[in-house]
Amino acid sequence: MPTGSDTLWDIAIAEVEKRENPEGDGKGVEISEKSILFMGNKNGGKTTIILRCLDREEIPKPTLALEYTFGRRVRRHNTPKDVAHFWELGGGTSLVELIRIPITSSNIRAFAIVLVLDLSKPNELWTTMESLLQVTRNHVNKILTKLGKTNPEVATEIKQRMWNNLQKDHPDYELVDPFPLPLVIIGSKYDIFHEFDSEMRKIISKTLRFVSHYYGASLVFTSKSEALLQKARVLINNLAFGFDKSKSVSVDHSRPLFIPAGLDSLNQIGPPPASDSDIGKLRANTPLELWKKVFEKTFPPTSSCDLQYTKDPAQDLQYAEYEVDVMRAQKKQVNVAAQIPWYENVAQMKMPWTWNSGPDSHVLVIQNLNLKVQSGQMLAIIGSTAGGKTSLLDVITCRDHGGKIKSGHILINDKTSTPQLVKKCIAHVRQDDRLLPHLTVKETLLFVAKLRLPKFFSDSQRKKRVEDVIAELRLRQCADTRVGNEYLRGISGGERRRVSIGVQLLWNPGILILDEPTSGLDSFTAHNLVITLSRLARGNRLVLLSVHQPRSDIFQLFDLVLLLTSGVTVYSGTARDMVQYFTEIGYPCPKYSNPADFYVDLTSIDKQNTEKELESQRRVNTLANLFLEKVKDFDDFLWKANEGDDGANTSSQQSSHVNSEESVNIPSHSSDQLPGVLKQFTVLLSRQVSNDFRDLSTLLIHGFEALLMSLLIGFLYYGHEKTRLSIRDTTALLYMIGALTPFTVILDVIAKCHSERVMLYHDLEDGMYSVSPYFFAKILGELPEHCAFVIIYGIPIYWLANLSPEPEHFLLNFLSVWLAVYCARTMALWVAALLPTLQLSAFFGNVLFTSFYLSGGFVINLENLWTVPFWISKISFLRWNFQGLMQVQFNELTYEMTVGNITLHIPGKLVTQSLDLDSQPLYASYLILAGIIISFLILYYLSLRFIKQKSHQNW
């Protein structure tokens, strides 16, 4: 008996000595200590069963990893209490490696296993059971192998113990394979399982009976009811404290099963629940494998999401701390800037030290977002600005703007999302409409149909598809109206948005994603647009759209709503249940208020000052954590009303009834069936010519501009029909012809390219066509306009200024001007594709042209240039055009110069020699100009190929 002066250490030593010496004061009483490991489905009810078995009135909490508790029971009065050690493995199957901690060689003689299986999740049942039992068995076998070398008697005793449940005369003695440790299989949530179809219940019950009998285990079905829990307690008390186990048996599939180990037989269980023909087709080496294949044919296994929460303890909501979570979120921010190629940074005029930093280079990670939607539904993502809506859509569509996924997966028809899969089944309608303004609605859709529909479609089939889309989107009244833009009057804003949807709808995608489709529209137009989207979703499509704060009648049209703020989910579920959900957690929507407005305001971050920001951030995190806790057991992570505490289980039950869910409708044609490069080129060329030549106002202005410049210059030098212009005037005229008009061409081309840049970027990103056909269509499509411009500009000047009248001189002069102006055009194309903004392109184009102008050989003699401008003159198309024009006009002529009474005859070649413009023969000037054109075209192609043609309106 310990005294008051004994220390805790003394008491512990005395207790050990008492156990080792039973003949002492302990009166020979042996204290029993046994251990039990509970494992099974995540959220299957393991903690609840342990607490009820120990008669503890505690609220179950999520198991982080591996938790321990103990219980004590007394056998009779005035005897020491037996101790049972209870271990609980959390995380479903994700933490199976932790079983080596409780199961050791020192306690294996008194160890047992309780496997808790969630009956409401039959699709996860076999996978969970097989994974846990296999890993446990392997670990136990390793321990027994080591014991066989050090203590073979104990190892043999443990192996033989499990055969004691079956007598040797049992008919199944040679057909089973008992588990090496005592095993109890508990089927939890029977109250939900009981609502299943009778045939489903029978299949699950027979399968679990076979597995339990095969492993020599006891089987019991339980739920929250006290009567069923009592049966489970009987089996667990037998394992923990040696209490007698019940001999009663219940094998009726319509009632909860209760079958102690050794009291069942294969004859009573019967064959696997499948026809003989089906069984004959299945190849199995063992009876267990045969039952597995039959069971998984009815309940295909689904991948478990256990790892998402349990691998990182910081994700457990019961340990949430706001300040720590904020710092962790900052640490996990996605560095979007680091994903941008270096050449794009150079093109955007960014300094190297700013490439991987800056306020815009980081965006918040979207955290704890789990969502499962099916075809035929319309999901609206709502939330305040900068809440992560557009980033989420970008991530779904595999675009880098939203950052890269660090953890988790996006699955489409159970396949991991890839850019190739996205292009096959997802259509993305951006926030801004980018369409060619001079084409009609029908022409716009027809050109897209020629590019996106498979090449085996005939022209009549393409037209039929266009007509169907026009009818589906209610666009018949404006089918022959030009699309228009902010400068050209055309169809209305709502009709233009529907045309953008029609462009994506032509190839019949399974998923339609829209980024704020109602922005900029009046409420009536927005309402009609969402009605159209709802109708599209009913056609076996999945429609996802982001929207700020929709009006109440629009909100009622949504099937599902995802409320997103600061990258976290505050609510996801049906739109009609959103008010009820927030009411239940203490945030009812005021009467006559729009739910979308109220709850978006509730979850917005107020950044007026630090105090309000922290307060609103805490509220948002609390709401997000509460919602995640409520839906973590749901298969689709969507909240449903009227399900109470068992809502998650009911959801699981409902999902288990659906053996084949509505899958995304992926078009059957593959990328190699789409129109080839040549077909893309012809379509793009036709579209380019149609759009450009419909813009009569721009064409007339450019033509009038060329004619006016030609007449102004021509009349300046007019009046010398009888006497030629002087050498000085002729030289100035020739340089002005080649240098004046290219500058205006550069500005016009840059402005036009930047107006088309957004549409080009989206088309290339969607895979509508490749760079090569667009490049050649652009070049050839603008040739007629270029030729007309040079003709209107070059011919009047030549004859008004009375230049050399020989036809060959005129043609050579025209060819040189044509090449020089085309050099300017190609240079403008390259600059427009190289730099991100109109201002930068215009600035850089101006710098290049000015450099070429100053080094062209007229402002300063080429002989007097120092090194840098001298080498610039080598690539100056103005210099080579000036040299060619001078040689055409002067080489074969002789000029008369009168000085007093003396008339001098000066050969024209002396003029070109004096200006150092005779370094190359005449044909070389034309070849060099052609080479400069080709060089600029190559640079233009490379810019299109490697630099994303994003639209940047700001520096």
Cα–Cα–Cα angle for 885, 891, 893, rounded to 5 degrees: 110
Q: What is the pLDDT of residue 187?
A: 92
Integer-rounded Cα Rg, in Å, for the chain is 41
Q: Provide φ and ψ at 201, rounded to 5°.
A: -60, -40
Q: What is the pLDDT of residue 945?
A: 92
Q: What is the pLDDT of residue 300?
A: 82
At a CB cut-off of 8 Å and minimum separation 6, what does 143 contact? 103, 104, 105, 108
- Percent helix, percent strand, percent coil in the chain, to nearest 5: 55, 10, 35
Euclidean distance between CA atoms 563 and 550, whole angstroms: 12
3-state DSSP assignment of residue 484: coil
Read off the tokens for 661: 């869910």
Q: Which helix (H) or strand (E) holds 415?
A: strand 415-416
Cα–Cα–Cα angle for 431, 435, 436, rounded to 5 degrees: 160
Euclidean distance between CA atoms 213 and 882, whole angstroms: 99
Q: What is the pLDDT of residue 29?
A: 42
At a CB cut-off of 8 Å and minimum separation 6, what does 32 contact? 82, 83, 110, 241, 242
Q: Are strands 560-565 and 568-574 parallel, antiparallel or unpaired?
A: antiparallel
**Which of these, 728, 876, 717, lies nearest to 801 by C-alpha position?**
717
Nearest-10 Cα torsion for 271, 276, 280, 286: 0
Nearest-10 Cα torsion for 113, 119, 121, 126: 50
Evaluate whether 236 touches 114 at the Cβ level (below 8 Å). Answer: yes
**Which of these, 861, 832, 860, lies nearest to 846 by C-alpha position?**
832
Alpha helices, H only, 548-640: 552-555, 578-584, 595-602, 610-631
Euclidean distance between CA atoms 691 and 699, whole angstroms: 11
Positive or negative torsion for Cα 404, 406, 411, 417: positive
Count CA atoms within 13 Å of residue 33 on its CB side. 7
**DSSP readout, 888-929?**
HHHTT-EEEEEETTEEEEEEHHHHHHHTT--SS-HHHHHHHH
Q: Which long-range contacts (CB under 8 A, 24 or more apart) does 757-764 make?
A: 757/832, 757/949, 757/950, 757/951, 758/432, 758/434, 758/949, 758/950, 758/951, 759/434, 759/435, 759/436, 760/949, 761/948, 761/949, 761/950, 761/951, 762/430, 762/434, 764/949
**Which of these, 87, 102, 103, lies nearest to 40 by C-alpha position?**
87
Q: H/E/C letters for each residue in 316-329?
A: CHHHCCHHHHHHHH
List pLDDT tens digits, range 595-611: 889 998 888 888 888 88
At a CB cut-off of 8 Å and minimum separation 6, what does 858 contact? 731, 732, 735, 739, 882, 915
Euclidean distance between CA atoms 313 and 332, whole angstroms: 16
CA-to-CA separations, 692 to 153, 657, 874, in angstroms, rounded? 94, 58, 35
Euclidean distance between CA atoms 798 and 791, whole angstroms: 11
- b or e along 849-888 (b: 16 or more beta carbons within 10 Å of the residue's beta carbon)? bebbbbbbbbeeebeebeeebeebbebbbbbbbbbbbbbb
**Which of these, 646, 549, 627, lies nearest to 581 by C-alpha position?**
627
Cα–Cα–Cα angle for 118, 123, 126, rounded to 5 degrees: 70
* Residues of the chain predicted below pLDDT 50: 22-31, 303-311, 317-319, 331-337, 358-363, 643-661, 954-955
Euclidean distance between CA atoms 282 and 380, whole angstroms: 45
Place of tokens 């009244």: 477
CA-to-CA separations, 859 to 209, 434, 817, 850, 854, in angstroms, rounded? 100, 44, 19, 11, 6
Nearest-10 Cα torsion for 790, 795, 801, 803: 100
Q: Are strands 426-429 and 33-40 parallel, antiparallel or unpaired?
A: unpaired
120: Cα separation from own chain's centroid = 31
Q: What is the pLDDT of residue 808?
A: 92
The total of other beta-carbon atoms located within 10 Å of residue 743's CB is 15
Read off the tokens for 900: 């007093």
**Which of these, 72, 69, 51, lies nearest to 60 by C-alpha position?**
51
**DSSP readout, 304-350?**
--HHHHHSSGGG-GGG--HHHHHHHHHHT-EESGGGS-HHHHHHTT-
